[in-house]
Chains A and B, each alone.
Chain A
Amino acid sequence: MGATGTNTETFVELIRRASTELPADVAEALEEGRKGEEDGGLAGIALNTILENVKLARDISAPICQDTGTPVVWIHHPVGVSTRALKTEFETAVREATKRKFLRPNAVNTLTGSNTGDGAGRGIPFVHFEEWDEPRIEVRMILKGGGSENVGTQYKLPDTKLGAGRDLEGVRRAVLDAVFQGQGKGCAPGVLGVCVGGDRVSAFEHSKRQLLRPLKDTNPVPELAELEDRLLREGNELGIGPMGFGGKTTLLGVKIGVLDRLPACYFVTVTYMCWADRKAGVSIDERGEVTWLS
């Protein structure tokens, strides 16, 4: 792994990649959506603009979206690594990336309303650490925009109005309602990260972690795999479309994870990720060698 103080530049590059280069799986899903929409309709125009924007951002290495979001980061590390040092390095990288315009100064003092000006603040970036047996450090990050974050929501089941009980059919009903409530406001077509179970702390984190999964992967739990496919299909049938203009492309993916719960609680937690589904990863081995992850 890189010695303390040597990872900052790698983290800046990680942020640059996330902010300016949309992952291939997301770009492909947008292309597929484009093919399904009528030429000249608002949905088609919106997707054309999005695809043009994705290319332009990559070509000139500038942010895909001006809301460069909250960096939400998961770091796996070997025994004996200082997580405090890694966190400091990541915060330094956020400030540097903000200076280089890969990030917008995006941290606002909630009490005074003033912007910290350098991209970092209390709780921003949000970094999770987990120790593992491997000798390398693996960093995975999403940039989570604010507009779509406002669309995220949490249901507690049972929900009488939705006819949603404490089972996967109840989960289905809650998630479909979340897609309807969100309309185009989270910059559709979006990706849903869903957590079933957990509590009000763990569930939102776990729902965001689902966004690291490739869009085309298959959930190892068969009934969840089936539910993911069904929700993707039914979510698109709602006809909300890109930007909420109406159309066939409302969702690009649905990813569901599960946590255990207390007997009294059954939460369905939905994180809405905009079409600018920015994620990036890097592995740093014990010699400091850097490998970029797709």
Chain B
Amino acid sequence: MTERSMLLALFDDVDPAADAIEKLRTMGIGDEQMTVISGIPVLEKFLGRPSVWTNVPRLALGGAVVGFLAGMFFAYGTPTMYPLNVGGQGLFAGPPAIVVIFELTMLGLLASTFLGVFLDSYFPSYQPKEYVTEVSDGKIAVLFSCPVEMESGISKAMTALGAEAVKPAEAQQL
């Protein structure tokens, strides 16, 4: 196994970054060996990157189902356990049940969406990671691993395509 090193190429705009990624692919760096870090979201299609799978919608739907069931329990389960007649309305009242079920379904949906972000992104994680603060200044960083002997060749290619800097990526405490 050849030794690999992690490099980080910093770009100012989407166009040079997209060109650079394509160049990296022609030089033999696979998509899984690359990560793009940016200060604003850039859609994968603009960078020519494969789209990333996200579990958030499915988790959201699951949470909505859990919320729905909780709503059903509050509306129909609790009067079964604690039956009290009020106002001549009957034990199980339809319109109040609709309100309760709606609110809890939405709560389930939104809470699980929020938690889904945490789960999918492995938040919170305070380990040292590869990062440069220029990213939050709006730059696009292409983080990739390449065989050590290709390092200088790739660096030159990146710089030729407009990289502001190409440096070794060190995991640092964020």
Question: Is chain B found bound to chain A in the same assembly?
Answer: no
